[in-house]
Amino acid sequence: MFEFGRDLRKLFDKARETEDLGWVELIGVDLLHAEARRESVDAGRVSCRRPFETERRAGGLWREHARRTGAADSLDRADRAAESLGRLAGSDDQRVLAGVDRALTLTLRFDLCGDPRRLHQALQALASVGPARRGWVAAEAAVAEALVKARLARLSGDPEEMHTAAGLLGGAVQAAAARGLACADDLRLERAALALEAGVIQRDGRLLDQAGRDLSALAEVFTPERRPLSRARVLSLCGAGLSALAAAARHPEAQAQGRTMFRAAAEQFTPDHSPLDWAAIQVARSGEADAPLMPLIQAEALTQGQGLVLGALARERRLAREIALAADVGDRAGLDQIEARLRERLPRSGAAPLDWAADQLGMARLGLARRALGGSEPVALHLVLTEVEAAAVEMGAPALAARAIELRAQA
């Protein structure tokens, strides 16, 4: 047993010397936080032999901790690491890498908290540092630019912009693979997600085939023993794609396969290992007609109070499921209780646009449920849902905007 412990420590020590941070998927968020703090402390020591590289590793670890937990403090520490890199940079290439880290942190802030202005700030951070001299540094800058532009294209929903963004991701994948960057497979996952979304929206079989090929290959690369979180994302994307196509084609067997994929994704790790990854899977699978309520309650608890896009989505999905269950059995008293809780919360959620949007969607669903049970017509429903859509679009939360559009069509 003691030999195993020493061998495990040697394994982690060796992994820390590499640029590939994929190994952090094997450790929980508490140990990840400790590793990030250790690197930050080391980077600040006068005796640190490579302060730029050490600070950059610290920033990467803080971003991963924030991505898995939504912790605002970890995002702030990643910001400070990027600022420190700007001060430490002693060459053109290091200045480019400092800009890349600044862009990646802004992109993560968008992913977690919304606001498309952060994506434009990320592009400005990349443009402000000038060209790289070494090929692998230029490849890292191309990767960051492709990630930002892919998000902007998804927000636009424009087929041409999504096609252009997919091409940028493809070029970044090739550049990363040619330079031996550790992020090449993660980029393939980003490309597969974009192709899948565009393929479903545009009903484009070519894009769906491309996404399927990428996801199949990544399922082999991201093994449970090495990359459990990345594997879970692959399986969740497969589940989302199958579910969307099955719903459009009314294909029960494909729907069952989608549910199996979601279950397999959730079984790759425990909720405390990566709270946001687990919550994202529960939100993604919530479209199932028989989706259980309890996982959505847990997902909401894991994501609330941090101003997260995922937190608003989890709350909206939990409210939708809770209201549907009460309406299905004609439980008017249950609907009244849900409304009372919502009205108590609304004044507090007004300061957070995404939380406000989720609560207003809940109120709209309550009005529609009461109408279906013989109640009165909801008041000013179209106006409220139009405001919700506008707020969601402004904050870069297209899923919430789509819910508002869907409910407005039912009004």
Q: How far is CA 83 from CA 41, 57, 87, 103, 117, in A?
A: 16, 14, 7, 11, 19
Are the C-beta atoms of residues 268 and 281 closer than 8 Å to each other?
Answer: no
- Band (345; pLDDT cuts 50, 70, 90): confident
Q: Identify the CA nearest to 406 among candidates 368, 373, 379.
A: 368
User: What span, in angstroms and rounded, lies between the C-alpha atoms of 187 and 183?
Assistant: 6
pLDDT, tens only, 73-122: 999 999 999 999 999 999 999 999 999 999 999 999 999 999 999 999 99
pLDDT-derived band at 18, boundaries 50, 70, 90: low
Residue 24 region by backbone torsions, left for phi larger than 0, else alpha for psi between -120 and 50, else beta: alpha
Q: Is the pLDDT of residue 3 over 50?
A: no
Above 60 in pLDDT, residue 347? yes
Look at residue 17 and tell me whether its pLDDT is greater than 70: no
Q: Which two tokens stand for residue 80?
A: 């400070």
Quickly tell me which residue has 């430490």 as its tokens: 88
Average of per-residue pLDDT values in the chain: 91
**Domain assignments of the chain as residue spans, ordered by start:** 22-133, 135-210, 292-411
d(CA 54, CA 56): 5
Higher-scoring residue by pLDDT: 201, 19: 201
Are 92 and 50 a contacting pair, CB within 8 Å?
no
| Contacts for 149 with CB less than 8 Å, ≥ 6 apart | 123, 164, 165, 168
Could you tell me which of 385, 391, 390, 389 has the C-alpha nearest to residue 408? Answer: 385
Given a cut of 50, whether residue 2 has pLDDT beyond it is no
What span, in angstroms and rounded, lies between the C-alpha atoms of 255 and 206?
Answer: 21
In the chain, what percentage of residues exceed pLDDT 90? 76
Contacts of 372 (CB under 8 A, 6+ apart): 327
The model's confidence at residue 13, banded by pLDDT at 50, 70 and 90, is: low
Is 350:343 a contact under the CB 8 Å cutoff? no
Q: What is the DSSP letter of 11?
A: H
Q: What mean pLDDT do residues 305-330 have?
A: 95
Kindly tell me if the per-residue pLDDT of 140 is higher than 80.
yes
Q: What is the pLDDT of residues 160-170, one digit of tens each?
A: 999 999 999 99
Q: What is the pLDDT of residue 9?
A: 47
Report the distance separating Cα 188 and Cα 251, nearest Å: 28
